[in-house]
Amino acid sequence: MFEISRRDLILGATGAYAAFGIDRPITFVGAAGAQQSDTQPFRKYKVGDIEVFSLIDGMRDVPLREGMVRNVGIEQVKVALRAAGFPDNQTPIRFIVMALKLRDQVVLIDSGTGGHPIYGQGNGRLFESMAAAGVDPKAIKTILISHLHGDHIYGLMNNETNAQVFPDAEIVLPAAELRWWTRPGVESIDLGPTRKGLAQRIQATVATWKNVRPFEGEPELLPGVNVVQAPGHSPGMVTHLIASGGRQFLISADVVNLSPHIQTNPEWQLAIDQDPQMAAETRKKIFDRAVADKLTISGTHWLMPNAGTFAKDGSGYAFAAEG
């Protein structure tokens, strides 16, 4: 069972409801708690007989700028930030790696930033967080990759030499991602500053490694671990659905990069998404599934605790953090 400490933060300003495009107050649970718990390096959840860990790899405050949300004005974003109790000149993001303890092994879901300077100073803390959580890196036999952006795969490779950090683990990733990032001419597409050199680095590393297993579609990758396709943020991105003992936990990668502790409107089109329109459609589908199937859902870049549940609320959603 989850150990839940909940704090309700009801949005008081009428303007805030308008900002979210919904017709009545929404309840954010956990925003205040999230700020207090940012220094905690990990969270632990139980899904049947599978243990799920949220491991902090790093954090960053990204200066707010016009166009960050393509179809929403900057003032509206500021209202959302203030309503959630944050300064309105920057968006707080986290880099969180998920891990599973299955009966016979530890599984990582994505690998974090690897401390690559492009993601800011002080990141690449995955191993420290693993130690704090009692997760043994030597027990990692499988690494499931959601998509091939640097903040999800640079933890697989040494920053100077590109040598594998987990040479004995099998790396399981969506074939569509590998195809896209290795297709002719991809390195000349401008995908923003954090993706500079990414395609070349993928081609020099992951694409050549013998311990990489690409998959198509939505297979069961491990007992109780299924794939759910989620294209948009990256062309072949997938999410991972953990099911055990009648419970389900969706590790949703970058389905939404702006934490639902701040806002939950799936229509907000984020500039960070490679195909913002498709990302918004995927997001709505995933949120609706989370409501219908009562999923616990986590996100890589959400505030801690980075897992919780969605409920329909008016024409929008309410997020309740857990843990």
Q: Please give the residue ranges that form the binding site for Zn ion (CB under 5 A).
A: 151, 254
CA distances from 62 to 120, 138, 198, 226 (A): 10, 34, 20, 33
Minimum gap (Å) between residue 61 Cβ and Zn ion = 16
The pairing of strands 247-251 and 296-298 is parallel
Nearer to Zn ion, 151 or 273 (CB): 151
**C-beta of 95 vs 166, nearer to Zn ion:** 95
CB of 147 to Zn ion, least distance (A): 8
Judged by beta carbon, residue 101 or residue 152, the one nearer Zn ion is: 152
- Residue 279 CB, nearest distance to Zn ion (Å)? 12
HSE of 254, CA atoms in CB hemisphere, 13 A: 31
Nearest Cα to Cα of residue 62 among 15, 95, 97, 17: 95
Q: Using the minimum distance from each CB to Zn ion, give the nearer residue, 57 or 254.
A: 254
Cβ–Cβ under 8 Å, residues 316 and 264: yes
**Shortest Å distance, C-beta 32 to Zn ion:** 25
Nearest CA-CA partner of 106 in 83, 137, 79, 85? 137
Q: Which is nearer to Zn ion, 19 or 97 (CB)?
A: 97
Q: Residue 82 carries which side chain, given as an amino acid letter?
A: R
Residue 58 Cβ vs Zn ion, minimum distance, rounded to whole Å: 11
Whole-angstrom CA distances from 144 to 82, 213, 235 are: 36, 10, 17
